[in-house]
Structure 1
């Protein structure tokens, strides 16, 4: 089986998107499949048309990052040309395009030209992601147009993969055949998060966390993550738990505003910002944290989409506390594998965290249950099998139809 993945962006850029992609490609290689990827104009400046990163082959679209409607249309055309060239070089059995929808549109053009089956994988709806990032408004003309374009692409793909039940149910409500959709949930590469790192006492002391009860967030600082609510919860939490400290690792569009909010807090001394750290260093910071907090705000994006970070925390054997939005409820069983608190409610966040810190008697049981959940249901080495029935069905149909003639070397 030869799969060409079509990506908005990929390694060496670091994001939840690229880490999920890496996990998929590595797990597919371990299964004995041959994989390659094509990245679009949003990858940014690249030196070579083909690059090897972390042992994976990426074909690059050498085009300017698109801006405005005209730029997006030109970007799709350039992306399609690069996908076609990668098809010529790699000779795949199947195209597997990943959201946003612009990549699906470019891949669909090539799939139809070459008679290749196309799987379109949606990690979030682009229109809802724009609202969450503060670059769009729900219900606007652009929002409705993007939603319609997404539905159009889904209807024309040969199969659709989504990362969670929320996205699947939304597509079914739009009239998409449920038999066409497979859920391929976010998972963890346990080769990367297999054994929790030992606590680095020197690092803890350098951050003033030597004997602290540390609440942590490690990820991107977007508005929808609700970190302003977490910072707002700290005065009440510190009043109840004087040793409570907040460790924020990462960066993003909200960083300046969050730093200003923290500096103005009456418990500013209890809040630490680390900034971005290399992915290879993340485990050192996980090891400092008692409870990983994910206070996502309530909105369509967070109700429909499951995040990756809580799963990484569970794999690290960490306690997880999160807002009760739909995406979190798919991952966390309140009181069993983690704690759920009300979204958009600093007082509720403070109360839930204080209760958790006050009684450690059930911590070991929760950690064990959360780790078992990841190993059994969110482990990429087993999750990857969800793609196999789709790939086999589509490639067999293409072979019977005779629409895609493999080269002799690939028979």
Structure 2
């Protein structure tokens, strides 16, 4: 099986998007498949047209000249389609696997339809909802509805569709997409890269001013508005009033970092809040070792109700306790009172109360950690999750081979 992946961006950039991509492609390579990836203009300019990172062959797209909105996106699609066509000419894929956003699907479909290769479109989040979550879009606006129309059109044209959770599948079905066309490929953890947790890193704890006996709450990830970290910081004064040794450790960065640092500096418990900044992924396990409870206070909106995050799974794989807002994406991952704790969204007092209850009684912590780790191993482990793609790929290849009416054209026409 030869699979050509079409990506918004990839390694060496680090994000939840690239970590999921690496896990998928690495597992497919381990299965014995031939795999290659084309990254789009948003990867940025590169000194090389091709490079191999972590055993994955990446083919880079030269970004087009910057221009006005819409025109710029059209040029991005064209540049990516041309690069996909160039790579496909030599690689000769059995399937083109395009990953969201929809710009990638549009480029992949242009090539796939031209050369007679089936296209699987994988949606990790709806682009229009991600824009709302990032504060760059407005639900119901002209731009929002236009992107939603393009997304639905791409799904209808694709030969198969993958989504990362049931929430996204349900939304597509409500748009009239046949449920049988959609597979769920949930977020997972590569336990070969993110395996056994490290012991408590006493040296790092001392460096960060964390003492033995502290109740350490942590967040490790990107600082977007929809993550609700402003609510977590606002929850610290009542939590510290209840648990004087409570500390908050924030690892990562993003658009909200400046505002969050200012909020923390103005907090009456500013001394209990630590900002670490971004750390290499190879170092992140050291920080997990310091945290008692990982908190994920996502705000309630379409994005968080429909999309499951990756970070709670990483925390459970590291045998950490998780506490998260009661939104749809979290409910697909966390069983309240069993593998984690769910609290009311958009409520600092609910966050503080939930964390205080957890710290007040540690007697069941080991059992809960074990159940969380078992959930990841059984249901969210990439080494087994990758098998979900097999019947879909096989069906697409078989359909192509049996369709005698559609002969491939020259990729030069793309």
Runs of 4+ in 1 over 3 A off after TM superposition: 64-67, 402-406
The equivalences for 1:98-137 within 5 A come to: 98-137=99-138
Q: Is the 8 A contact 2:114 2:408 kept in 1?
A: no
Tell me what 1:210 maps to. 211
- Aligned with 1:270 (options 272, 296, 300): 272
Unaligned runs of 5+ in 1: 407-411
Question: What's the CA shift string for 1:39-75, capped at 9, x where partnerless?
Answer: 0000001111111111110011012375511111011
Tell me what 2:19 maps to. 19
Q: TM-score, normalised by structure 1?
A: 0.97
Question: What's the CA shift string for 1:230-255, capped at 9, x where partnerless?
Answer: 00000000000001000000000000
RMSD: 1.1
**How far is 1:91 from its partner?**
1.0
Partners of 1:103 and 1:66 in 2: CA distance: 18
Question: What's the CA shift string for 1:133-190, capped at 9, x where partnerless?
Answer: 0000000000000000000000000000000000000000000000000000000000
Q: Quick check: 1:340 aligned with 2:336?
A: no
Tell me what 1:387 maps to. 389
The equivalences for 1:79-98 within 5 A come to: 79-98=80-99
Tell me what 1:235 maps to. 237
Q: Is the 8 A contact 2:229 2:297 kept in 1?
A: yes
**How far is 1:373 from its partner?**
0.3
Q: 1:78 to 1:405 in 2, by over 3 A?
A: closer
**How far is 1:36 from its partner?**
0.5
Partners of 1:4 and 1:180 in 2: CA distance: 20
Partners of 2:334 and 2:65 in 1: CA distance: 38
Q: 1:353 to 1:76 in 2, by over 3 A?
A: same
Tell me what 2:176 maps to. 175
**How far is 1:401 from its partner?**
1.8
Task: Tell me the secondary structure at the aligned position of residue 190 of structure 1.
Answer: coil
Q: 1:381 to 1:366 in 2, by over 3 A?
A: same
Q: 1:282 to 1:23 in 2, by over 3 A?
A: same
Q: Is the 8 A contact 1:42 1:65 kept in 2?
A: no
Unaligned runs of 5+ in 2: 410-414
Partners of 2:202 and 2:110 in 1: CA distance: 55
Q: Is the 8 A contact 2:326 2:342 kept in 1?
A: yes
Tell me what 1:326 maps to. 328
Q: Quick check: 1:221 aligned with 2:223?
A: yes
Q: TM-score, normalised by structure 2?
A: 0.97
Q: Quick check: 1:2 aligned with 2:2?
A: yes
Q: How many residues align?
A: 406
Partners of 2:128 and 2:62 in 1: CA distance: 26
- Aligned with 2:352 (options 350, 353, 363): 350
Question: What's the CA shift string for 1:341-380, capped at 9, x where partnerless?
Answer: 1100000100000000110011011101000000000000
Q: Is the 8 A contact 1:398 1:404 kept in 2?
A: no
Q: Quick check: 1:198 aligned with 2:199?
A: yes
